[in-house]
Chain A
Amino acid sequence: MMVMELNLIMVSTLSMILFVIGVYGLVSKRNLLRLIFSIEIMINAATLNFVAFAAYLGSSMSVAQIAGVIIIALAAAEAAAGLSLILEAHRLRKDVVVDQLREMKG
Chain B
Amino acid sequence: MIFPPGPLDPIIIFLATLSVMSAIIALESRQIVYGAVSLIVMFLGISAIFLYLGGLYLGVVQLGVYVGAIGVLILFAVILVGESRTPEPNVNRIIGATAAMIVLGSLLVGFTALQMLPAPHHVGAQELSRIASRLMRDYGLVIVALGSLLASTAFGSVMITRR
- Residues of A whose CB lies within 8 Å of any CB of B are 1, 3-14, 16-31, 33-34, 36-38, 40-41, 44, 47-48, 51-59, 61-66, 68-70, 72-77, 79-81, 83-88, 90, 95-97, 99
Contact = CB atoms under 8 A, between A and B. Distances in A.
Nearest to B43: A44
B42 A87 contact: no
Interface residues of B, number: 86
A78 to B, nearest CB: 8
Contacts of A51: 49-50, 53, 55, 58
B126 to A, nearest CB: 5
Interface of B: 1-9, 12-13, 16, 19-20, 23-24, 26-27, 32, 35-36, 39, 42-43, 46, 49-50, 53-55, 57-58, 61-62, 65-66, 69-70, 73-74, 77-78, 80-81, 84-86, 88-89, 92-93, 95-97, 99-100, 103-104, 107-108, 111, 114-115, 117-118, 120-123, 126, 130-131, 134-135, 139, 142, 146, 149-150, 153-154, 156-158, 160-161
Nearest to B6: A3
A28 B99 CA distance: 9
Given A30-B86, A47-B46, A37 B27 contact: yes
Contact of A76 (B5, B39, B65, B97): B65
Given A16-B111, A19-B107, A80-B73, A57 B39 contact: no
A28 B19 CA distance: 20
Nearest to A77: B153
**What is the predominant secondary structure among interface residues of chain B facing chain A?**
helix
**What is the predominant secondary structure among interface residues of chain A facing chain B?**
helix
A88 B161 CA distance: 6
6 contacts: A3-B6, A7-B4, A17-B20, A69-B135, A86-B77, A95-B86
